[in-house]
Amino acid sequence: MEDNMAHTELGTLLVRASKKLYEAVDDAYSLDEWKTQMVCLINEIAQLKLLCSSTTTIPQRCMNTTSLDPVDWSSAKNVAHKTLDATLNCIQTRRDKPVWQPVPDDVRSVINDESLPEHGLTLAKVCDDVLNYVLPYARGNTHPRFWGWAMGEGTLGGILAEMLAATININAGGCTHSAVLVERKVIHWMRQIFGFPKVEHGGIVVSGTSMATIIALASARRRFLTNVREDGIANAPRLIVYASTEVHMCVIKALELLGMGSKAIHFISVDRDFRMNIDELKTAIDDDQKNGFLPFCVIGNAGTHVSQTGSIHFRLFIPGTVNTGAFDNLLEIASIARTQNLWFHVDGAFGSLIILDPQRRHLIHGIEQADSLAFDFHKWLHCPYDAGCVLIRDGNDLLSTFSVHQSYLANTERGCAGDKPWFCDLGSELSRTFRALKVWFTLREHGTIKLGEKIADNCEQAQYLGSLLEKHASLVRVIRPITLNIVNFRVEPEELDRSNEALIDVFNNELLNDIQISGIAVASTTRIHSRLYIRVCIISHRTVLEDFDIFVNNLFAMCRTRLHNLNSSVN
């Protein structure tokens, strides 16, 4: 049956090639296009002929003598070049396409209804399917008007770095090789940027801030419970972490995974600027100590993610929230942490990289005093997903938390198993991808000055969007201050009952859906003081001011249309 399918596909390709031979060409450009398409068809035909030949003439028991490499490298290279050209064209012309579009039912069916492949397709067929069914229906964060959630776009250099990393295909967990040197250099540069002291093995590149938070809190826990790796936490004191009500959900997940539970966090309220209330923090620590708990960590926000949460004791701090872009007072929190002997953690998912902007780096003064810092490269540093980082002030905390020695993973002074400690001794993963390459590549290609300028651009763009919206003050409520790159606003038409907050919530949510489905832009929603707001988070090196004019004009046009339709339905 599979043989028949391959022969049928071969026949179809032969017919297409025959028709292509008689196509007219008008100029040199169209001739080049024709030649490219013809070569691709010939390569597909060649691959299928080999496939048909092998399935009919080579006994199945002999197939294990071949590798998974192409039989015809020349044809494979042509397919690879065609696919690379398509990906580069996708990035080059991204602005001209919808930001996001729903996956059509027929495309869903192609993917959902495919049976498990027992016999392979041609390389060209698989690549074409990706280009036709996967690439056009992605989330949209490579577009300059994707402002929903804190997601970076990536760069051409990042694409090439990922391709090179896949070519090397190394396990960066240990041993002596170039990936170890590159990752150590990246960690060294990050410690230099954030003012951390020079130490060995003081950080690790991970998948993102969520994993970085787990590693940081595990290190904090082991410092306070020195035998936790052997004894667990069953008979340990009740550990308490402190964080503002704007803390991101990754902290809750980390506490749950580490066995301390979500009740281990003591939530501290925020002021009108969404900064942690310092006096309330001091009182909470004193009260918890009196009640027999063990405060061990405080978390400060530095332009990080936000989610609503709740109550416990730790020396952990999180600065800068993703909801609003607010920053906790890291200097004050650091002082409290030192006085109370708490671990000071900073959640700097994207906001911590404001340190590259000379005009705004004062927002994170005190970050250099943190015991740990978690942040992402795949946001404001524009590296491809996934790439995050955790820095630990004292590298010995990482080693004492994660290092495990087994005979088959032994280091050697000479040979391939050198360069200790291995990165697998600094985190939870033994098998690790070469994530550091795209970070190293990005920093070397663009430099910290240019990357900082793009961060500053996004902050200025947020102010511009805020001013555009406030020209319609009778219709739009904008949350101030706009500290960083995030604008939260709420459309409140006079045609609706403004006292009905739930009705206004629904209207804004539907209005946002309208603009997402239109393909004009993607923003998200959040809740501030229990009310729904449209949230624009600008993390794009491709966005220009004109994009906000397009967004606002279309937003109000859709608002008028929705109001008209509501009025018509009532009448």
Task: Indicate whether 86 belongs to any domain.
Answer: no
Mean pLDDT of 173-194: 92
Task: Indicate whether 144 belongs to any domain.
Answer: no
Same domain, 425 and 512: no
The CA distance from 54 to 416, in Å, is 39
Mean pLDDT of 36-46: 77
Domain endpoint, select from 396, 429, 446: 446
pLDDT digit string, tens, across residues 151-182: 889 999 999 999 999 999 988 888 778 889 99
State the pLDDT at residue 308: 37
The CA distance from 78 to 74, in Å, is 6
Q: Which domain holds residue 438?
A: 161-404+412-446
One-letter identity of residue 94: R
Domain harbouring 328, CATH code:
3.40.640.10
CB-count exposure of residue 413 (10 Å: 0-12, 13-18, 19+): exposed
The CA distance from 505 to 511, in Å, is 10
Same domain, 374 and 521: no
Overall number of domains in the chain: 3
Task: Indicate whether 165 belongs to any domain.
Answer: yes
Same domain, 323 and 468: no
Contact (CB, 8 A) for 364 and 327: yes
Same domain, 436 and 484: no
Query: What share of the chain in percent tops pLDDT 70?
Result: 88
Same domain, 241 and 296: yes
Mean pLDDT of 256-264: 94
Same domain, 441 and 456: no
Contact (CB, 8 A) for 393 and 197: yes
Positive or negative CA dihedral for 231, 233, 234, 237?
Answer: positive
Same domain, 204 and 232: yes
Task: Indicate whether 241 belongs to any domain.
Answer: yes
Domain harbouring 458, CATH code:
3.90.1150.170
State the pLDDT at residue 384: 95
Phi, psi of 262 (to 5 degrees): -65, -20
Same domain, 442 and 556: no
Task: Indicate whether 80 belongs to any domain.
Answer: no
Positive or negative CA dihedral for 180, 185, 188, 194?
Answer: negative
Lowest-confidence pick of 156-170, 288-302, 419-433, 502-516: 419-433
Higher-confidence residue of 234 and 29: namely 234
CB-count exposure of residue 32 (10 Å: 0-12, 13-18, 19+): exposed
The CA distance from 301 to 307, in Å, is 12
What is the separation, in whole angstroms, between the first and last Cα of the chain? 62
**How open is the CA angle 239-244-245, to the nearest 5 degrees?**
110
Task: Indicate whether 228 belongs to any domain.
Answer: yes
DSSP letters for 1-70: -HHHHHHHHHHHHHHHHHHHHT----SHHHHHHHHHHHHHHHHHHHHHHHHHHHHHHS-GGGGGGS-SS-
pLDDT digit string, tens, across residues 433-458: 999 999 999 999 999 999 999 999 99
State the pLDDT at residue 570: 67
Q: Are strands 294-303 and 343-347 parallel, antiparallel or unpaired?
A: parallel
Task: Indicate whether 81 belongs to any domain.
Answer: no
Task: Indicate whether 57 belongs to any domain.
Answer: no
Same domain, 416 and 472: no
Higher-confidence residue of 379 and 24: namely 379
Contact (CB, 8 A) for 17 and 42: yes
pLDDT tier, 553 (very low <50, low <70, confident <90, very high otherwise): very high
The CA distance from 439 to 69, in Å, is 29
Same domain, 421 and 522: no
Q: Give the chain's mean pLDDT.
A: 88
Same domain, 529 and 380: no
pLDDT tier, 32 (very low <50, low <70, confident <90, very high otherwise): low
State the pLDDT at residue 313: 31
State the pLDDT at residue 507: 96
State the pLDDT at residue 319: 37
Same domain, 320 and 373: yes
* DSSP code at position 140: -
